[in-house]
Structure 1
Amino acid sequence: MTDAATTRPGTRRPDAEVVDLCAELIRIDTTNFGPGVDGPGERAGAEYVAAKLDEVGIDCTLYESEPRRTTLVADFAPEGTEPGAEPLLIHGHLDVVPADAADWTVDPFAGELRDGMVWGRGAVDMKDFDAMVLSVVRDRVRTGRAPRRPLRLIFTADEEAGGVLGADWLVRNHPETVEGCTHAIGEVGGFSLTVRDDLRLYLVQTAEKGMAWLKLIADGTAGHGSMRNDDNAVTELAAAVARIGSHRWPHRITDAQRAFLDAIADAWQVELDPDDVETTLARLGSIARMVGATMSNTANPTMLQAGYKVNVIPGRATAGLDGRIVPGGDEEFFATLSELLGDKVRYEIDVHSSGIETEFAGGLADAMQASLAAEDPHARAVPFLMSGGTDAKAWHRMGVRCFGFAPLRLPPELDFVGMFHGVDERVPTDSLEFGARVLDRFLDLA
């Protein structure tokens, strides 16, 4: 591999150091354990990024919502950008979800290179894209190549816990950091879905579901475990949780989902039955799990807590609920939830953000297709609705149109969706290099 520091001026190698950068970022533990639980924070990761940008003369500003919960902002506006062009926001988060080393084949924070892949927590979510951005920008500085328009680079804290201490905090306390930006790219999108040898769909996120992390609460009458009790908080909560868990939400097809389903129907030359879409989606392989979850609202009970001794009936029982809401579906979600909870269980909102959606059209969409096709002549960019959430919701509140575009050409057999928050998370090295080359081309066109 060519050392980017020794690359001759003018020699274009945007992929030269992306693999090493990704591995080094993984080796920095930025685990986010969630609200109220102390962890290493993102400070070390932000300082690493700042050092890499400083090496090529790009100044950064670090913002901390709390000690070690660090977000980095930098501007890349070299001479040669189009006069008067609005800055393009490119964002990636620095935090990762926890990983239990005992479950992994490798040390999840070793950034190990094995079998043509970089292994470790964050390899696909999302230190791979962080590394692409760094590799491309550093190469452009060294080779004197300006992007078409200025870039606003933001590496955030706390995305894995809803962005309360990261993107959300930044736009509330420092809205000037997003000033002038009307378009953004970040996770999750731009990855390939192989239809056949001469056709790969690259899924660009143009919409994402909203999020409702709720605490369900049942209050009852405390008492001795040997006595009859018709006001048992555990019983009421358990019944409500069972109703929610077994509820089948009706299909709600958004514009982004319809565009994706139409692309799938065209690619596989099938007609979609609106009442049996899942049968066709099954042909997509592992990604069908993600797509299937975007067909409707969802609500999954994830945590239960009650009592402190087996012979004591507690006066309160609580549960955690992860709700995901299609764009425009908030009213239906909360109305249905209230019906399922019944009269004796209530909820408190820990985190709530509505879904967002934008049209897959315009200059950025054209630039995505062109940059993908230049590296993969069998590429076709298609929009999709993502089941999870990203920092895009924070930028959306500032009037920014957001796209998930972290390009990766993937082996057809790789369970890419299973890598997100999964065990043995890994990304192929040639996929990283492909992504850096696509991103580099994109910045000439966007």
Structure 2
Amino acid sequence: MRNKYKIVFRLLLLFVLPFLTFRICEAASANIDITAKDKTVKKGDTVIVSIYLTSDDLIGDFEGYLSYNADILEFDNDGGVAAGGEGLVKITDTNVPQGDTERKYALKFHTLDYGEAVLSLTDETGVYAFDTGDNMSVSRNQLKIEVVSDKSVSDNTNLKELKITPGTLSKEFSKENTSYQVTVGLDINQLVISALAEDDKATVSITGNKDFKTGHNTVEISVKAQSGKVRTYTIDVLKEEASEETGEENPGQDKGEVVDSTAIGKLQLEKEADNTYLTGGFYLHLLTPGEDVTIPEGYEKTSLIVDGTAITVYANTLDLDSDFLLVYGENKSGLKGFYQLDRRENTVQRFNPVSVKEGEKLVIPKNARNIEHYQNQIVILGIVAAVLLGICSALAIGIIRMVLKNKNTED
């Protein structure tokens, strides 16, 4: 009898199993479409991003995580079902009273900068069936929004100046030429780069200028225009090995050039909150000169790349190739002013506009000329005072003698 029940149970199982398998294969699915009316906008515009959910089954709860480029777009947190910022928005729509097959969410963004922003839902996004609460399989897309410039915005991505230390570029710098080479010795791990953009509103950044390995290394200097357009200049840095025949550690160095290799590479930047410090055997808090600060005559504003960051420096207009630059800052003693930076030896000292280093061309500022003029005037006045003092002394002696003579005569 028991065998008969087993046979009947197996027959029923074989009959029901195909239907169960078919039901599992028919899992609920949903589609998410991210779209916007305008995919090409301008800086300062408002962009409405719509998220559409569709499914053949009833949609229940939804939790979505939308990522975006925070440097190009800013999310308008209006306090609805969506909240977040800094590159990620969370959409929470749970405990829905009634399921539906279509659903729409609208998010407002403002454009901050030029470039292309990509909006997409992360893998943590979940769409759940209303009837069962099961997680649906989801297909989704990406949305790209391009922020373009108008005619009034500059798209100048040219460099005006490019200098390096140590070494020499393989060819003379030209803003149209974006590729250069340089050979350095075994002890060089990075370059000191001075890069000045042709447009003051463009920004300069650098990558790859650290920890050179033996052989070829690529340093990239990117110039981002106000419009968001970018041009990249490259320097192929060849770091040579030690010479086995001569035993030289730096065969790529010019034999006629004396370089203190122990000083190269000391220049560094340290950042604490919004403060930037220039270090390397010294400690200088970099500052921006106020309106009451006069830039020394004969110097123009430029930039120097240190640790991949551009800092503001001032170069002598009569000798732009000079190794000496000016930086404005405050030392440990709290003394603010201009300091002279030797970008070859990476040293900093207080700037004295009257003193001129040998081989350095320097224009003496007007205030220095005024000091010299006043000093000359003081010398002249001193001479005149001495002469007058001598005359007064002679007159006093003469008067005393006359008084004494008259007194003797009366006696």
With the shorter chain as reference, the TM-score category is under 0.3
Q: Compute the TM-score of the two structures, normalised by the length of structure 2.
A: 0.18
Q: Where is the strand percentage greater, Structure 1 or Structure 2?
A: 2
Q: Where is the helix percentage greater, Structure 1 or Structure 2?
A: 1
